[in-house]
Amino acid sequence: MIRRSNPVALRLFYCYSHEDSGLRKKLEEHLSLLKREGLIAEWYDGKIGPGKDIDEAIDENLARSDIVLLLISAAFLHSDYCWDEEMSRAVERHKQGLARVIPIIVRPVEDGWQTTIFGGLKALPKDGKPVTRWSNRDSAWADIVNGIRKAAKELQERH
């Protein structure tokens, strides 16, 4: 049996393009142990209930998040909503020390992403190599989860 040693789970927010939904779901699967341990509680727009205001739900959950995962791909960089509404606010919260933003390179993108407002943040997986370029994607996801675990532990120690 897994112990729930963490009294309050950190809120994790997925910022992603719907084109990358399959990759978000795989990451969610790989984060299962962190959820079972009570280290994180995830949220993404697919959890919005019928009849709820979409923008309001996203705003509320982003504002309460401790960790924001940016799932970087060409589709993400192309999305005005990801860029203007979610990512820009997440990076602002990161700069204020209210959240930790972690870029995750899920599919290849041109190197120009490194000059963006989130380009100075250490990306996952290792060396910013896109998940889809790993010969063993499970190894890429494991590297990402290990990085998220480390960040979560650091955040918990600060509180």
- In this predicted model, what pLDDT tens digit does every residue of 63-103 receive, in sequence order? 999 999 999 999 999 999 999 989 999 999 999 999 999 99
3 state DSSP class of 74: helix
| 25 sits in which H/E element | helix 21-30
| C-alpha pair distances (Å), 125 with each of 9, 19, 24, 36, 131 | 23, 20, 14, 22, 7
Q: Is the pLDDT of residue 1 over 60?
A: no
Fold exhibited by the domain 10-158: Rossmann fold (3.40.50)
Rounded distance between C-alpha atoms, residue 9 and residue 45, angstroms: 19
Predicted confidence at residue 143, as pLDDT, reads: 98
Q: Could you give the 3-state DSSP secondary structure of residue 10?
A: strand
Pair 106, 23: CB distance under 8 Å:
yes
pLDDT at 51 over 80: yes
State the chain's mean pLDDT as an integer: 93
Q: What is the pLDDT of residue 115?
A: 87
The one-character DSSP state at 48 is: P
Query: What residue spans define the domains of the chain?
Result: 10-158
* Confidence category of residue 129, pLDDT binned at 50, 70, 90: very high
